[in-house]
Amino acid sequence: MISNSVVLSRQYRFLAAALVAALGLAFSLTAMGQSGVPAAPPRGLSATGAPIVGGVLASAPAHDPAALASANWAKMAGGGNGNNATHQGVTLHGHWVIDVRNPDGTLAQHRDFENSLEADGQGFLVGLMSGYMIPGDYMLVIGAASGTSACTATYQFCGIVHNLNTYPALGYCSVYYCTGSSLSYAYNFGTGFAGPYSMVLAGSITANQTGTIGEVFSLISTCANIGFSTTVNPSSIETISPATCVTQTSPEPWYGPLTQAILASPVAVTSGQIIQVTVTFTFS
């Protein structure tokens, strides 16, 4: 299940809303990659070349939710707001559309599908919800689930980035093919902040080899009161602004996959074709 300036305050507001959705997510957690890649990948990549982040946020202590949940359920069941059917959980959807176009602009292939929340993505959402993390920039990654990708690089992944000089691009584009890519953002709050709400990431890249697309990721960069660590978690409120976080390189921000999907059948791409990707995040 689950675009060149950044509207940062809106970005923060979207993510804060997304965090609430994390409380009732119904996502599957998956992690797949490629074979035959270097044995010692850089930080931020798994041994398969798939993006990772090494830190895991500690679980916060529970606040005795049983009594509160019981009281809320009794209120709804007893009449309450009369709409308990809509209080069965919250879902964050990530809808992907991939259009492959020939150099003359004609459509060669169209594919749409849903994604799932990554395990590290849950940690980022908890960090943003708690204020321990501040949102930075984004990136989309597409590659082959097996075999040859549509992009040639150390790892066969195409990186669609907003800015090559910010994370996550700084962490991945030395080993992913990001040349000529572009990523834009759109934020939708509805009239009078009444919805429908959505965030849209959209971008494109030109394939530089013939291959397939079978695995995709959305990536996020976040800043915390400490730089990225594999052993120490953020432990207090982060005080910098989202504008500062977007360009922060030292200390190194926390960055990695937010969502991921494995396609049921790969998308065939020919070198020189244009890959257009749109990811729309919504709630239900």
Q: Which residues, 6+ apart, have CB-to-CB distance to 253 below 8 Å? A: 136, 167, 221, 222, 223, 224, 227, 228, 245
Q: Give the total residue count for the chain.
A: 284
Residue 45, CB-side half-sphere exposure with 13 Å CA sphere: 25
CA distances from 34 to 39, 167, 240 (A): 12, 23, 37
Residue type, 232: V
| Segments of the chain with pLDDT less than 50 | 1-40, 54-84
Instruction: Write down the pLDDT at residue 10.
Output: 40
Residue type, 33: G
pLDDT digits (tens, 9 = 90+) for 134-185: 999 999 999 999 999 999 988 999 999 999 999 999 999 999 999 999 999 9
Q: Tell me the Cα Rg of the chain.
A: 19
Instruction: Write down the pLDDT at residue 254.
Output: 95
Beta carbons within 10 angstroms of residue 212's beta carbon:
21
- Can you say how many angstroms the Cα of residue 234 is from the centroid of all Cα atoms in its chain? 20
Q: Report which of 266, 215, 259 is spatially closest to residue 109, judged by C-alpha positions.
A: 266
What single string gives the DSSP state of each residue in 168-218? THHHHTTTSB-TT-EEEEEEE-BGGG-B--EEEEEEEEE-SSSEEEEEEEE
CA distance 239 to 41: 32
Instruction: Write down the pLDDT at residue 37.
Output: 32
Q: Which residues, 6+ apart, have CB-to-CB distance to 230 below 8 Å? A: 54, 55
What single string gives the DSSP state of each residue in 231-252? S----S---S-HHHHHH--SSP
Instruction: Write down the pLDDT at residue 108.
Output: 98
CA distance 259 to 73: 31
CA distance 223 to 258: 15
Instruction: Write down the pLDDT at residue 73.
Output: 39
CA–CA–CA angle 42, 43, 48 (5° rounding): 65
